[in-house]
Amino acid sequence: MKNYKYNKSEILNSENYKIINKIYEKEELPYDEGFILPKINQNYLKKNIELITNNKITKRYKEKEKDIIFTHKNYGKTPEYLKQFKLEEIKRKEYEKILEEESHYPPGTKLLSENERINTLNNLIETKKGIINILEKMPITKRTQSIQEKKEELEKKLEQIEKEIEIFSKKKVFIKTN
C-alpha cells in the first residue's frame, strides 16, 4: 500500500475539491499537516446532570411532545379483532368447562337446572300438602271397601312424593335423557 500525502495547497486547488465545495457551499475546512485537535477533558455526566437540573433537556422534549398530534381516532383503544379474540377465548374456556363437568355425569343423564329443581320441589311440596289434606278429611269410622282403597292409593302417592322430595332436595339432580 502506498501512503499518499497531500499538501493543503494541492487539495484546495484540486478540481474535485472546488466542485464539491460549490455543491455544498461549505466554508473551507482548516487543514494543516500534522494538525491534531487538543484533547478536551470534560465530565459528560456532570454536564448532563447540569442540563437536567436546569430543565434545558426537558424543555426540548416538551416542545417535541407538543409537535406530535395524534390524529388517529382510535388511538389508545383496543382493536376490534383483539376484543373478538378475547371473547372467543372466554367462550371456548366456558365450553371446555361445561364439557369437563358433563364428563363426570352418569351416562345417559343431564343435570337439572337450579330453577327447574326448585320449581319441581315446590310443586311436590304443594301436592303433598293437598294429599295430606284429603287424607285428614276422610272419615275414620266408616270403613267401606272404596274408602279403604282410596286411602291406600293416597298413602302410596304420599310415599312416592316423599321419595321424590328427598331426591329433589339434593343440590345436584340428574335426569335421564332420551
- Does residue 117 lie in a domain region? no
Asked if 135 and 151 touch (Cβ cutoff 8 Å), the reply is yes
- Does residue 22 lie in a domain region? yes
The 10s digit of each residue's pLDDT in 69-110 is 556 677 778 889 999 999 999 999 999 998 888 788 888 888
- Does residue 26 lie in a domain region? yes
- Does residue 83 lie in a domain region? no
Asked if 111 and 105 touch (Cβ cutoff 8 Å), the reply is yes
Q: Write down the pTM of the prediction.
A: 0.45
- Does residue 32 lie in a domain region? yes
Asked if 175 and 124 touch (Cβ cutoff 8 Å), the reply is no
Q: Give me the residues paired with residue 175 across strands.
A: 110
For the chain, list the strands marked E by DSSP.
109-111, 174-176
The 10s digit of each residue's pLDDT in 104-146 is 888 888 888 899 999 999 999 999 999 999 988 888 777 788 8
Counted domains in the chain: 1
Rounded to the nearest 5 degrees, what angle is found at the Cα of 64, between the Cα atoms of 59 and 70?
A: 140
The 10s digit of each residue's pLDDT in 23-81 is 555 555 655 566 566 677 788 888 777 777 776 555 555 555 555 555 667 777 888 99
Q: Structural domain of residue 18, as residue ranges?
A: 7-36
- Does residue 143 lie in a domain region? no
What cell numbers appear for 94 in the block? 366456558
- Does residue 18 lie in a domain region? yes
